[in-house]
């Protein structure tokens, strides 16, 4: 178990003053002076006591900004002769080159790439490159990446993806075990589910939405587990908790 945590909601304009015994981290902090930081978005602020005092500030809201190496779920919104444009819920659409998708060079004069991926198709991809001066590019050249055939898509706040996965994947393992669904979590706030039946799928979606709403609560995994079990009992899927 880690050190005790004190958690508060931090808001834009909140000033955090630290001394040299405290370390601070967070992507949404603006350094005002040597020891003063400004919180810039609605966030949870954790203060960890113990040997090493630590403040962690995590955004509760905000658009997804691509980062190299992120696995994202995209929707094809445009097709050109040699690449696709995908919506990845960021301010910038992403490019997927046909040569990357096919894993070889190809001749646009001979082939129409629409037959591989068309508008509305869903892909799991990795951000290959992004420096904010050009559109991000994607790659599907890795295990588990590529076109999505079936399943259900749920959208959540990208900033809350971390909670759906949980510390050391605790939340997502619990979700998988309890709902028997298969989850692919895109860092950009899209989650793909493949479930054994529609009742379990519905419960899984409700659970994800609940995690999104209650992302700031401590002890969330247990709380969500209880919720899923209750829902299963309500729907007659199980009589009582068997474990």
Partner 1 sequence: MRQSKPQLIINGKRIDGREPQDLRQIKMEVGILKNADGSALVEIGGTKVLAAVYGPREVVPRHQEQVDRAIIRCRYRMLSFSTLGERKSPAPTRREIELSKVIREALEPAILSTQFPRAAIDVFVEVINAEGGTRTAGITAASLALADAGIPMLDLVAAVAVGKIDGVIVLDLNEVEDMYGEADMPVAAMPSLKRVTMLQLNGVLTPDEFKKAFALALEGINKIYQFQKEVLRKKYVEVEE
Partner 2 sequence: MSSTPEIPIIPKIKLDTILNVVTKGFHIDKRPLLNYRNIEVVKNVAPNADSSVLVKLGHTQILVGIKVDVGQPFPDNPEEGVLIVNAEYIPAASPSFEPGPPDENAIELARVIDRSLRESKAIALDRLLIIPGKKTWIIWLDIYVLDHDGNLVDAAMIGSMLALAQLKIPYFEVDQVTGSIKIDKSRYTGSLSINRYVATVTVYKVGDVLLVDPTAEEEAIASASISISVSEEGNIVGMQKRGMGFFTEKEIEQAIDISLHKGKELIELMKRFSS
**Short-list 228, 237, 168, 233, CA closest to 203:** 228
Q: How far, in Å, CA of 32 to CA of 15, rounded?
A: 9
Of the two residues 119 and 233, which places its CB atom closer to partner 2 in the complex? 119
Of the two residues 3 and 80, which places its CB atom closer to partner 2 in the complex? 80
Report residue 121 CA to chain centroid gap: 19
Residue from the set 100, 157, 201, 231 that interacts with partner 1 by CB under 8 A: 157
From partner 1, partner 2, none, interface partner of 92 (C-beta below 5 to 8 A by class) = partner 1
CB of 155 to partner 2, least distance (A): 10
**Short-list 15, 90, 26, CA closest to 54:** 26
Of the two residues 10 and 98, which places its CB atom closer to partner 1 in the complex? 10
From partner 1, partner 2, none, interface partner of 96 (C-beta below 5 to 8 A by class) = none
Residue from the set 60, 96, 128, 208 that interacts with partner 1 by CB under 8 A: 60
Of the two residues 92 and 106, which places its CB atom closer to partner 1 in the complex? 92
Interface with partner 1 by CB under 8 A: which range of 49-57, 58-66, 105-113, 173-181? 58-66
Q: Which of residues 139-168 bind partner 2 (CB under 8 A)?
A: 148-153
- Name residues whose C-beta falls within 8 Å of residue 134's C-beta, 6 or more positions apart in sequence: none
DSSP character string of 7-50: EEEE-TT-EEE--TTEEEE-TTEEEEETTEEEE-SSEEEEEE-S
182 binds partner 1 per the rule CB under 8 A: no
Contact map string, positions 5 to 44, toward partner 1, x by CB under 8 A: ----x-xxxxx------------x-x-------x-xxx--
Q: List the beta bridge partners of residue 33.
A: 36
E-strand ranges in the chain read 5-10, 15-17, 22-25, 29-33, 36-39, 43-48, 53-59, 71-79, 83-87, 94-97, 122-129, 137-139, 146-147, 152-155, 182-186, 190-194
From partner 1, partner 2, none, interface partner of 148 (C-beta below 5 to 8 A by class) = partner 2
CB of 218 to partner 2, least distance (A): 30
Interface with partner 2 by CB under 8 A: which range of 5-13, 43-51, 115-123, 173-181? 115-123
Q: How far, in Å, CA of 239 to CA of 230, rounded?
A: 10
């Amino acid at each position: 178990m880690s050190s005790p945590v004190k958690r508060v909601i931090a808001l834009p304009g909140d000033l955090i003053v630290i001394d040299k015994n405290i370390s601070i981290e967070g992507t949404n902090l603006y350094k005002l002076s040597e020891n003063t930081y400004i919180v810039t978005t609605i966030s949870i602020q954790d203060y960890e006591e113990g040997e090493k005092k630590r403040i962690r500030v995590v955004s509760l809201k905000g658009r997804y900004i691509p980062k190299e190496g992120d696995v994202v779920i995209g929707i094809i919104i445009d097709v050109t002769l040699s690449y696709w444009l995908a919506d990845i819920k960021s301010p910038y659409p992403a490019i997927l080159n046909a040569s990357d998708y096919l894993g070889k060079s190809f001749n646009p004069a001979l082939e129409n790439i629409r037959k591989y991926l068309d508008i509305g198709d869903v892909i799991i991809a990795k951000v290959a490159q992004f420096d904010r001066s050009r559109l991000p590019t994607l790659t599907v050249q890795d295990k588990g990446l590529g076109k999505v055939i079936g399943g259900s898509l749920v959208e959540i706040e990208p900033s809350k993806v971390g909670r759906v996965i949980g510390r050391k994947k605790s939340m997502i393992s619990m979700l998988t075990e309890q709902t028997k669904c298969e989850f692919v979590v895109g860092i950009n706030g899209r989650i793909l589910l493949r479930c054994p039946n529609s009742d379990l799928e519905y419960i899984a979606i409700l659970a994800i939405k609940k995690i999104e709403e209650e992302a700031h609560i401590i002890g969330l995994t247990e709380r969500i587990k209880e919720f899923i079990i209750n829902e299963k009992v309500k729907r007659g899927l199980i009589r009582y908790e068997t474990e």
